[in-house]
Amino acid sequence: MDEDSRYEAVRSRDGRFDGAFFFAVETTGIYCRPSCPAVTPKRRNVRFYPTAAAAQRSGFRACRRCRPDAVPGSAEWNVRADVVGRAMRLIADGVVDREGVAGLAARLGYSARQVQRQLTTELGAGPVALARAQRAHTARVLLQTTELAVTEIAFAAGFASVRQFNDTVREVYAATPTEVRTAAPRGAARRAADGTGIPLRLAHRGPYQGAAVLDQLAWEAVPGVEEVTGRPGARVYRRALRLPYGTGIAAVAERTRAPRPGSGVHPSGWLDARLHLTDPRDLTTAVQRLRRLFDLDADPYAIDERLSTDPRLAPLVAARPGLRVPGAVDPLEAAARALLGPAGCGRLVEAYGKTLDTPDGTLTHLFPEPAALARPEGVPAPLAALAAALADGTLRLDPGADRDDAQRELLALPGMDAATAALIRVRALGDPDVTPPGVQAPDAWRPWRTYAVQHLYVAGESTP
């Protein structure tokens, strides 16, 4: 999009572009999402940015009315396989906060200077600024949904000091941390303090076929690690999470919700979720992994528009607009499920999974770590080889992995076939343009062949 097209999107308050770009108003010093309900500023006063971090770096603060920090992530980062796309997926997973820019660069196979230059050139902000914007959003969520002390929130959000935390919150939100907390919806902090976890709204753009996602997650659920409860239309998906600093229990509701008319908030909708974390520093990572699992950063407008041009797919897209492809929170779990199925994974969990310190109903274990399955006895040979490759770093299936390199490494493993490798590439790596062997996929489906196959599967015309 050129800047005139972006301005037209702002003028029409088009929510399809929320997260794809941001605009800032020089006369007010604030930046917004394209669908902000405020009076449209004059064109000469508007500047456009590819990320919230770039707007913040230029001195603009977040709009209190449209909350631009709460938009879905750009679908571009799911599609792109280059270093910028891979870097953005890793930054969202919290790698810069945990490992620094040097750790990010090492994962990408570039120097820190190269990563800094490429991100700044294309996105207007380097990895530190991008991670800082994410920390600010995490801090706001914790301030408004928990009763943790401000000092605890500062370090839980990833800030190096309380002073840095205070300065960032004031700069981004034009308010002190106390003022941000006071602006929370009435009762939110009290509910979170009652032991019910951190309440979240996981925003998505466009229509969302929650029933189809829950159907698939229920069918694939690994006993002891995942469950789907409730009646159709009001089900809840729950699972245990292994996270960098501790563990968590996540619950995500099936029903997608839309904002109240006149509320001043215009995401396309959201899923209600709740997180119980043993360490609040894991909030950002846990949220991003849930977003990947539920495919919340996809662009259904672009996907449906392209697939609707195919006569075979057009009626399927019309029947299920906004169909998503579930991802994964644990790449080894996704790979094991592709190889052994849910029941086989359940036996692995019982034999090698770590028991939760505090089991929650049927959620009793974490899925085993790679080192626990990298053994020749008791573990099927293909999975043992895959786990060993993950454990020693030969194979990478994290958000920033090179998808082509990962597929080559998968196919080199003993017992790995092309169909299983393709499924792992879809679920663990989130590749939107994969077709399994035997499926005829015309070029017209590119770059959304994964979604085309998902439509065929949900309609009963293909196997998973």
- Tokens coding 165: 């935390």
* pLDDT tens per residue across span 167-206: 999 999 989 999 999 887 665 544 454 457 898 889 898 8
- Tokens coding 388: 């060993």
Domain assignment of residue 84, yes or no: yes
Say yes or no: 89 and 64 in one domain: no
**By C-alpha distance, which of 425, 458, 248 is closest to 327?**
425
* pLDDT tens per residue across span 45-93: 999 999 999 999 999 999 988 889 888 888 888 788 899 999 999 999 9
Say yes or no: 114 and 65 in one domain: no
Residue, of 398 and 194, whose pLDDT is higher? 398
Say how far apart CA 178 and CA 189 lie, in whole Å. Answer: 13
* pLDDT tens per residue across span 412-435: 999 999 999 999 999 999 999 999
Number of H helices, E strands in the chain: 21, 11
Is 8 in contact with 2 (CB distance < 8 Å)?
A: no
Q: Give me the pLDDT at residue 132, please.
A: 95
In sign, the C-alpha dihedral spanning 369, 195, 155, 270 is positive
Q: Give me the pLDDT at residue 464, please.
A: 56
Domain assignment of residue 96, yes or no: yes
Say how far apart CA 389 and CA 383 lie, in whole Å. Answer: 10
Domain assignment of residue 249, yes or no: no
Say yes or no: 128 and 48 in one domain: no
Global confidence as pTM: 0.90
User: For position 172, which CATH number holds?
Assistant: 1.10.10.60
- CB-count exposure of residue 5 (10 Å: 0-12, 13-18, 19+): exposed
Q: Which of 55, 70, 85 is the last residue of a domain?
A: 70
Domain range for 152 is: 76-182
Q: Which of 138, 153, 182 is the last residue of a domain?
A: 182
